[in-house]
């Protein structure tokens, strides 16, 4: 079963009591249980972690890069200023989805910048815990073996000629009119295919 790390930054361990009008009433334990259950249905072995420590988070990102492990990441406040985290993520070797419970674009201006977004495959924000579910679905899709990943030897095109279907940017998803502030799913700037999704060379 494919392993996925769901990594969470500072103050997310306080979910449930932390600004419930912004982040909802679910606790971090609820979030972790939801991610594991969604993962099970998708055939993913999901491990959920949280830290308030930038150095520990960077260490987990290194671990993911070394193990070619896909990551769903809520960098929390590190989103907006941690170049150390951004540089660690730039070394990734598997898909990376940035998630947010709230919609930072609809909040204070300092939250409008993500230093992480440009090195992620995409960003899902504003859907509460659903942001994590959608991100895990994206990871399942991006890491699924596709027809183009294993063409018959005789019909195999050169590796560089046929990017996998998963290289296409994710479609946008409109938020419900009545729910929390508008959310967005942004495609990556480059739409580069994730390393793990590349077809093997013939
Ligand atoms: C957050 C948004 C960030 O701006 C904030 O610092 C967080 C949580 C979210 O999930 O909505 O801690 O990442």
pLDDT tens for each residue of 69-124: 999 999 999 999 999 999 999 999 999 999 999 999 999 999 999 999 999 999 99
In the prediction, which pLDDT does 145 show? 87
- In degrees and rounded to multiples of 5, residue 100 shows phi and psi of -140, 145
Ligand 1 centroid – CA 141 distance (Å): 25
Residue 202 DSSP one-character state? -
CA–CA separation, 187 and 19 (whole Å)? 29
Q: How many domains are contained in the chain?
A: 1
Burial of 108 (0-12, 13-18, 19+ CB in 10 A): exposed
Residue bearing tokens 């306080």: 14
Burial of 114 (0-12, 13-18, 19+ CB in 10 A): buried
For position 162, what pLDDT does the model report? 43
Q: Tell me, in angstroms, the distance from the centre of ligand 1 to residue 155's CA.
A: 47
What integer pLDDT is reported at residue 163 of this predicted model?
42
Structural domain contains residue 195: no
> What residue ranges in 133-193 does DSSP mark as E strands?
184-186
pLDDT of residue 146: 79
Per-residue pLDDT for 172 more than 90?
A: no
Identify whether 37 is part of a domain: yes
Torsions phi, psi for 198 (to 5 deg): -70, 140
Residue 196 in domain: no
The structure tokens 């030897």 sit at 153
Q: Is residue 198 part of a domain?
A: no
pLDDT at residue 132 is higher than 60: yes
More confident: 150 or 68: 68
pLDDT for 192 equals 44
Name the residue with the closest Cα to ligand 1, atom 6.
Answer: 77
The answer to the question of residue 199 being in a domain is no
Which of 20, 22, 77, 126 for a ligand 1 pocket mutation test, highest count of atoms within 8 Å of Cβ? 77
Residue 100 falls in the annotated catalytic set: yes
**Is 197 among the domain residues?**
no
Whether 194 is in a domain gets the answer: no
Q: How far apart are CA 85 and CA 98, in angstroms?
A: 12
Calculate what percentage of the chain has a pLDDT beyond 90: 71
Query: What is the per-residue pLDDT across 14-46, written as a single tens digit (0 to 9) for each?
Result: 999 999 999 999 999 999 999 999 999 999 999
104 Cα to the center of ligand 1, angstroms:
7
Q: Which of 31, 76, 78, 112 to mutate to test the pocket of ligand 1 (most atoms within 8 A of CB)?
A: 76
| 3-state percent breakdown (helix, strand, coil) of the chain, nearest 5 | 45, 15, 40
Pairing of strands 44-50, 71-74: unpaired
pLDDT of residue 154: 52
Residue 123, domain extent: 2-145+153-189
Give me the catalytic one of 62, 83, 100, 112: 100
Query: Is residue 23 flagged as an active site residue?
Result: yes
Best CA proximity match to 89, nearest among 103, 77, 74, 102: 74
Say which DSSP state 80 is in. Answer: G
Residue 15 is classified by DSSP as T
| Interval 185-201 mean pLDDT | 46
Distance from residue 150's CA to the centre of ligand 1 (Å): 39
Read off the CATH number of the domain in which 136 is found: 3.40.50.9100
- The set of protein residues with a Cβ atom below 6 angstroms from ligand 1 is 11, 74, 76-77, 79, 100-102, 104, 111
């Amino acid at each position: 079963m494919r392993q996925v790390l769901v990594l969470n930054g500072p103050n997310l361990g306080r979910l449930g009591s932390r600004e419930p009008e912004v982040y909802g009433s679910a606790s971090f334990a609820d979030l972790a249980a939801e991610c594991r259950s969604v993962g099970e249905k998708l055939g993913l072995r999901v491990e959920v972690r949280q830290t308030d420590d930038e150095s520990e988070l960077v260490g987990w990102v290194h671990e993911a890069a070394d193990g070619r492990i896909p990551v769903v990441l809520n960098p929390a406040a590190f989103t907006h200023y941690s170049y150390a985290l951004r540089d660690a993520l730039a070394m990734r070797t598997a898909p990376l989805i940035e998630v947010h419970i709230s919609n930072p674009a609809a909040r204070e201006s300092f939250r409008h910048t993500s230093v992480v977004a440009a090195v992620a495959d995409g960003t899902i924000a504003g859907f509460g815990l659903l942001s994590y579910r959608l991100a895990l679905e994206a990871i399942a899709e991006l890491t699924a073996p596709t027809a183009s990943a294993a063409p018959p030897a005789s019909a195999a095109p050169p590796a560089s000629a046929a990017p996998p279907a998963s290289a296409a940017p994710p479609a946008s998803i409109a938020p419900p009119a009545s729910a929390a502030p508008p959310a967005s799913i942004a495609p990556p700037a480059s739409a580069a295919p994730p390393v793990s999704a590349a077809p093997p060379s013939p």
